[in-house]
């Protein structure tokens, strides 16, 4: 007789939801804001393409590109701030 799969613990499910909610919650000025945006886009691309097995729709690609351009602007601001601190 085969063993039935063990049901997931409710806490495990709550933890996953907490991690996802935290990943998508950005607050201006948060030190983790840029990282959260990039990780959120990575998660959305992976999940919307079925792990890379389905094509990405054009509208989704445009939205992701907009957010990634915003991330590039944030990275440039951080780079300028670091350059000023080094001077």
* pLDDT tens-digit readout, 67-87: 999 999 999 999 999 999 988
Say what angle helices 58-86 and 33-48 make with each other, to 10 degrees. 160
Chain segment 20-57, per-residue pLDDT in tens: 677 677 777 788 888 888 988 998 899 889 888 899 99
Q: Which residues contact 26 (CB under 8 A, 6 or more apart)?
A: 33, 36, 37
Confidence of residue 11 (pLDDT cuts 50, 70, 90): very low
For the whole prediction, is pTM greater than 0.75?
Answer: no
Per residue, the 3-state secondary structure of 2-62, as one string, reads CCCCCCCCHHHHHHHHHHHHHHHCCCCCCCCHHHHHHHHHHHHHHHHCCCCCCCCCHHHHH
CA distance 19 to 24: 9
Residue boundaries of the structural domains of the chain = 31-86
């Amino acid at each position: 007789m085969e063993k039935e799969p063990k049901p997931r613990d409710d806490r495990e499910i709550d933890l996953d939801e907490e991690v996802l909610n935290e990943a998508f919650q950005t607050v201006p000025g948060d030190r983790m804001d840029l990282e959260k945006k990039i990780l959120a886009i990575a998660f959305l691309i992976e999940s919307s393409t079925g792990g890379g097995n389905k094509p990405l729709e054009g509208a989704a690609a445009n939205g992701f590109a907009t957010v990634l351009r915003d991330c590039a602007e944030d990275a440039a601001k951080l780079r300028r701030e670091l350059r000023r601190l080094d001077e």
